[in-house]
Amino acid sequence: MSDGEETGDAVCWLGMLCPECGAMPSEGATDRCWRCGAVRDSEEEREAT
């Protein structure tokens, strides 16, 4: 089922937004903010679809 694939992706990003500036994570650099350089805590494990 590929329905809602885009939505699921967007929702996943919501929890990855930078807590400092709220910027969306860049591809390949989700552990660090490309905007302000703030390092996100990897406490929350990514949901494995």
Binding footprint of Zn ion, residue count (CB under 5 A)? 8
Copy the structure tokens of residue 13.
Answer: 């990003």
Residues 30-49 within binding reach of Zn ion (CB under 5 A):
33, 35-36, 38
**Beta-ladder partners of 32:** 39
Number of Cβ within 10 Å of residue 33's Cβ equals 22
Among 5, 21, 39, 46, binds Zn ion (CB under 5 A): 21
17 touches Zn ion by CB under 5 A = no
Tokens 């990897």 -> residue = 42
Residues that bind Zn ion (CB under 5 A): 18, 20-21, 23, 33, 35-36, 38
